[in-house]
Structure 1
Amino acid sequence: MQRLSEEDPQVIGAYRLLGRIGAGGMGRVYLGRSAGGRTVAVKAVHPHFALDTQFRARFRREVESARKVGGAWTAPVLDADPDAAVPWVATGYVAGPSLTEAVAAVGPLPEPAVRAIGAGLAEALAAVHGLGLVHRDVKPSNVLLALDGPRLIDFGIARATDGTASLTATGVSIGSPGYMAPEQIVGKDVTGAADVFSLGAVLTYAATGEPPFTGDSSAALLYKVVHEEPVLGPALTGGLRELVTACLAKDPAARPRPGELARRLAGPPGASALVQPGWLPGPLVERVSRQAVELLDLEADGAAPGGNAPSPHA
């Protein structure tokens, strides 16, 4: 987490900002606190998006859709103002690293942890798809790992940039090369099956430390996703490998539905049966615990602990 700089706002909406969590193609993410003491993640979009009236309309629609999303494995949308000078949205704060950060810190995760992540995210997607929504940007940086389980963030918000930003523009994408489904890349109708493909890529990354498609450029990645078979590596074995392979099928109709995926990963008890004390490797538990202590130690003037910001969640 980084301290607020002179160019950062001190307050957004009803939230006093305590520090900057990250930044990405869509905007900056801040740690905020309400007058009642609730800690939130506040995403403020880049100013150039704010000048686009079409973006504002899409942002408003996506926020309204995201507000409907609930469940144990998501970070809920709590507040938003699409009509502000700089549009913003506030979600529940999740104390834990992204999957990107976790793998960078400790390497590939053990199979029980991968299964817990997969089952939790599959249950989240089942709930979202049941509302008629599609996430469209399931990727490791949108998966946060807390002591009480994984969380999928940024439901639908990325779609607000569709038509505003080029797929290959620097720092901006509608979906993420290497994790997007083939039909998403070629412009066909996108259904919940696209999220399942992305989840298969995320689980490959969690289990092996590498995505199933790699390349030197976005164009190379997109080509491989559409035309080549995934590279899963020897670390992904047995039933988990079979499930991931099914998720990464080129044909959307051949992919399992999220509910089926959750049952095959966790059995009838569901993801909660897999998320028990110790579900995360010890070094990650220590990291989450330190992050929680830092949060408690934030001073009333809004100063944030020093250090570098986590990977972008924007």
Structure 2
Amino acid sequence: MAEEWITKQIDKYIIVNQKLGSGAFGTVYRGFKKNDETKQVAVKAISIASIKDSAKMVEHIKREISILQQANNPHIVKLYDVARTPHYLYLFLEYCHDGDLKKYLSTKYGRRLSEVEAVIFLKHLVEGFRTLHQLKIIHRDIKPANILLHKGVAKITDFGFARVIDTGMNDPAYFSRVGSPLYMAPQILEGQPFSSKCDVWSMGVMLFEMLYGKPPWDGDNQYNLLQNIKKTVLMIPDAPVRSDKIKQLLRHMLVVQEKDRYSWEQIFNHEIIQIQEAQIKNNLEQLMKEKDELSRSESLNKLYLEMNLVVGYLDQPEQILQEPSTPQLTQGSEEKQSVDDINHEKGLKIINQYETEQKRRKAMLKYNTYFLFERNIAFFFNYVIQKIIKMSHQGILKLTQELYYSTIFCISKNQNVHLKRMYDQLMSTNPDKFDRETWGRYLISQEYKKILTVTKNDIKHTEDFYLEIYKKEKQIIDKELTQPDNKRATKIKQVLDVNFDQNNFFQQLYQSVVQEGLDVIKTSIKQTKDSDPVYKDLLQLGWFLVICLNPYLEFKDINMDFNQFYEEMQTLTETQFLEKIGKRLDL
């Protein structure tokens, strides 16, 4: 395409001279449907002059079109239409708003993800590969740049090197050497026969990169890379700490000898990939056996927390619905479409509108990030409650019965106050702290609908849990009030209700009760030897309660990765915890 053009009309689409990237065989531009500018598309433009003398390139492109027409899956980028003009072949593809995985990794500390988030990415992509596997398709170019992100969903793109296998998916065969070297299976690098397991290798390299911030092997060129792979045993770093299950999966995916490497069938059936429906059912059956209502509520809360501790950008795979297949129109290879230049002034206006829209979406997503941040702070309080319950049951935390229930009551109520404040903001038509126009756009966005649904579910659960704690606390307070001069019980009585509005009196009481819990922990720490296994548990809980007093001193950045925070908390040493809370507790 000549550089001077601004917009072009191809059939029922308008193409805008705004590059989104480059694929294996062409440049990708923004575009939209002629009669509806809100229906955006990504347009892959392939110069016919660049491929007419290469039968192999023509075959690759035909193959890409054929594969995209067949592969209907929410985790595979959709092909809407194909058109040909005298000079270009155009593929009109699904437009993904949020960039690619390579860019996403670059925004993260250490260019890595938490294990929880990496596994969600893996599940998304494995769901896409279920469809590819059924269609006997290998991709051959899996890498972070070819994973697009769209409103919480990861999607596989760029099938320029993909092909359909005529033999068994696990039967090695000779194919051309294509792909990105860093992610290529050693069989491709060496020019040996390979099967669909080449994609398992590439996915393994990408999973390793998501978990550790870099690929498992590198090299100055393809030869050195291959030698490093063949001569250097896979080294899995000690830090950051990862589960044995994910490390085991990596070892199976990154086996150099293809015959010993996991197949896609083994990936599909792996316990990490399978939605743990049986385990959830078993947990629910066990908690329903609890006779005491509070114990049952505590168990249910623990289960909910395990499944919903952190809410982030990605949707859980089981929440993603299959979109109906979009009719796809393929123009005949010799049919010529009219190419109309939109007038210069209108073209510039369209480009300016796109740039403005990008800025608006960026501003709108900041609102969504803020609400995710506030929601995850609310569930930090819940996490601390579970720590208190567990350590008390284990006999590590020695609070009096009155202080124990007062502490979990106050933290639970504070969580509900936090969630109600957040919900009130979400339901506001014109909140003070937000730009009115951007807020209006946010209210009609898919992101808003998702966070509102999450918040409603969270509130229902946390209120139910609070009510059971409230009932128990009421019994204890009524008993304590029969004793003379019980100041804490008298104050608790005044907030023993289901009102979750902001209240200065409650906040002062909350601070006082949490501080009492900290004083008990401080005494326990001083009386416990640092060689005792419970010493670290006490330091950790002490630090968590310090955060509870003012979470915004620890959680300062709305872009904070809470999954990484919880991972870090599991790996800190006693000395590191002491550095965090030593001055605060005078240790």
Q: Same fold (TM over 0.5)?
A: yes
List runs of 5+ in structure 2 lacking aligned partners: 164-176, 281-306, 315-346, 359-587
Q: Do the aligned partners of residues 117 and 91 (structure 1) sit closer, same or farther apart at CA in structure 2, a change above 3 Å counting? A: same
Distance 1:68 1:110 in 2: 34
User: Which letter does structure 2 place at the counterpart of 1:103?
Assistant: L
- Local SS of the residue matching 1:175: coil
Higher relative contact order (CA 8 A, sep 6+): 1
> Counterpart of 1:16?
14
Aligned to 2:233: 229
Q: Which residue of 1 aligns with 2:72?
A: 70
Q: Give the deviation of 1:52 after TM superposition.
A: 2.4
Match of 2:223 among 204, 216, 219: 219
- Which among 151, 158, 162 is matched to residue 161 of structure 2? 158
Deviations, residues 263-286 of structure 1 (Å, cap 9, x unaligned): 42232369xx989982338xxxxx
Which of 227, 241, 250 is matched with 2:247 structurally?
Answer: 241
Residue in 2 that maps onto 1:165? none
The structure 2 residue matched to 1:305, chosen from 355, 358, 365, is: 355
Residue 199 of structure 1 deviates from its aligned partner by 0.3
Shift of 1:90: 2.1
Name whichever structure is richer in helix by fraction: 2
Q: What does residue range 270-309 of structure 1 map to in structure 2 within 5 Å?
A: 278-280=311-313, 301-303=350-352, 304-305=354-355
2-structure distance, mates of 1:215, 1:131: 34
1:141 maps to which residue?
A: 145
C-alpha separation between the residues in 1 aligned to 2:74 and 2:276? 14
Instruction: Map Cα deviations across residues 124-182 of structure 1 (whole Å, 9 max, x no partner).
Output: 11210110111111101011233332111123x2359xxxxxxxxxxxx8210110111
Cα 1:213–1:146 change in 2 (3 A) is same
Change (3 A) 1:39 1:252: same
8 Å CA contact 1:28, 1:43 repeated in 2: yes
Matched with 2:274 is 267
Instruction: State the AA in 2 paired with 1:137.
Output: D
Deviations for 1:219-247, whole angstroms, at most 9, x for unmatched residues? 32243345543444333622111111211
**SS of alignment partner, residue 161 of structure 2:** helix
Q: Is the 8 A contact 1:148 1:275 kept in 2?
A: no
Q: Using the alignment, how far apart are the partners of 1:275 and 1:193 within structure 2?
A: 33
| 2:208 is the alignment partner of 1:204 | yes
Distance 2:313 2:11 in 1: 35
Aligned residue for 1:158, secondary structure, equals coil
State the match for 1:128 in structure 2.
132
**Where in structure 1 are there 5+ consecutive unaligned residues?**
161-172, 282-297, 308-314
Aligned with 2:199 (options 183, 195, 198): 195
- The 2-side partners of 1:147 and 1:265 are apart by 24
How far is the alpha carbon of 1:58 from its aligned partner? 3.3
Larger Rg over CA atoms? 2
The alignment status of 1:182 with 2:186, answered yes or no, reads yes
- Separation in 2 of the partners of 1:8 and 1:242? 52
Q: Is the alpha carbon distance of 1:113 and 1:58 closer, same or farther for their aligned partners in structure 2, counting shifts above 3 Å?
A: same
Q: State the partner residue of 1:166.
A: none
Q: Which residue of structure 1 aligns with residue 40 of structure 2?
A: 39
Provide the rounded CA distance (Å) in 2 between the counterparts of 1:240 and 1:92.
32
* Count of aligned positions: 273
The change in CA–CA distance for 1:280 and 1:188 in structure 2 (over 3 A counts) is same
Q: Partners in 1 of 2:4 and 2:247 — Cα distance?
A: 48
Structure 2 counterpart of 1:168: none
Q: Any conservation in 2 of the 1:43–1:89 contact (CA below 8 Å)?
A: yes
TM-score for both structures, normalised by structure 1: 0.75
Give 1:148's aligned amino acid: G
Equivalent in the alignment of 2:27: 28
Mapped pair 1:114 → 2:118? yes
Write the distance in 2 (CA, Å) between the matches of 1:71 and 1:9: 31
Once the two structures are TM-superposed, the CA of residue 117 in structure 1 deviates from its matched residue by 0.8
RMSD between superposed Cα atoms in Å: 3.2
Residue 500 of structure 2 is matched in structure 1 by none
Q: Give the TM-score taking structure 2 as reference length.
A: 0.42
| Letter of the structure 1 residue corresponding to residue 157 of structure 2 | I
Contact map agreement 1:50 1:86 (CA 8 A) in 2: no
